[in-house]
Chain A
Amino acid sequence: MPTLELSNPAALPADWRDFLALTKPRVMSLVVFSGLCGLLVAPVQLPIVLSFTAILCIALGAGACGALNQWYEIDVDAKMRRTAKRPLPAGRMDRQSALHFGVGLGAFSVLLMGLATNWLAALFLAVSILFYVLVYTVWLKPRTAQNIVIGGAAGAFPPLIGWVAATGQIATLPLLLFAIIFLWTPPHFWALSLFVRSDYAAAGIPMMPVVAGFESTRRQIFLYSLPMAAAAVAPWLLGLTGAIYGISAAILSFVFLVLAGRVATNRATEPSEMDAEKHLFAYSVFYLFALFAVLVADRFLPW
């Protein structure tokens, strides 16, 4: 890559790597994984190429959400250390390119999903993209501390979409998977927002720690973890999965509750003293991966 100082970087055509960065590939990995699990645990198995296409569409839809989110939040991203180096605030891409890319990617993913699997899955994919962009990014995020609670629904759609892509209909298990991610989102994001609180405050985003303070956020992290744990073991209690999933979900959720309890009793206000919050955030990512992995294992293992 040339390192020449350019007279006007914004006038350059954006590098393809910047378009890739616009899709937030790291966030996409969890979305793709949960979508794949929803598809794999469905009672109907699609041909491999159609399964691949369904997951590709979920990934492209998530990429479209990332691109449109960054297109809309360019001013906010420029104010936060964590996001200031993204292609738009850093001036490596013009805003219109991001908008065209996001809209094009979203429309393409929905059409391809409809053509390859079924139009109910395409409808859910379209709703999840529009919900993330319009309801979460544009409406809730800059206005209310409940942004993550309601906006979390957008990230909860992938396993439901995966299931519907395979079966063409909705059932109890994918709705429970939706509920697990929906209830997991607040503790996950609030744990993060506690130790990057100053970033959100500087950008004027009303995240829970900024609006309600540390103590209230920590208490709510623990309170949301309780129904999340209940939703996690519910598939087993309702007889929708086997003991492998049930016992694993109970152990994983118990550890989650212990870590959330440590956060609830922590009184630190400096990020350097927030080990409990950092541990919960890291564990919450592992928790969701592990929970969905054992769900798939439970479906395919013979005992």
Chain B
Amino acid sequence: MVKAEDEIIRKRQRDRARIMALLLGGFVILLFFITIAKTGMNW
């Protein structure tokens, strides 16, 4: 039982870490394009 609970906890931690990594990656890309738009660069 404890082992099974442990597995659920690990799975949730992994899932949350993946989502957080995706969100952070998306945020970095968004910041890049905001910077481009704010500086008025055209390419």
A interface, CB within 8 angstroms of B: 2, 4, 6-7, 12-16, 47, 49-50, 53, 56, 115-116
Partner of B15, one of A6, A7, A16: A16
| B37 engages A49 (CB within 8 Å) | yes
Chain B 14-35 per-residue mask, 1 if CB under 8 angstroms from chain A, else 0: 0110010000000000100110
Partner of B37, one of A14, A15, A50, A56: A50
| A13 engages B30 (CB within 8 Å) | no
- B20 CB, nearest partner CB in chain A, Å: 9
Q: CB-nearest residue of chain A relative to B37?
A: A47
| A13 engages B33 (CB within 8 Å) | no
B interface majority secondary structure: helix
Given A13-B13, A16-B15; A115-B5 close (CB under 8 Å) = no
A interface majority secondary structure: loop
Most buried by A among B4, B9, B11, B12: B12
Q: CB-nearest residue of chain A relative to B32?
A: A49
Most buried by A among B7, B13, B30: B30
Question: Chain A contacts of B30 at CB under 8 A?
Answer: 49, 53, 56
| B16 engages A2 (CB within 8 Å) | no
Q: CB-nearest residue of chain A relative to B5?
A: A6
| B33 engages A15 (CB within 8 Å) | no
Question: Chain B contacts of A53 at CB under 8 A?
Answer: 30, 34
Question: Chain A contacts of B12 at CB under 8 A?
Answer: 12-15
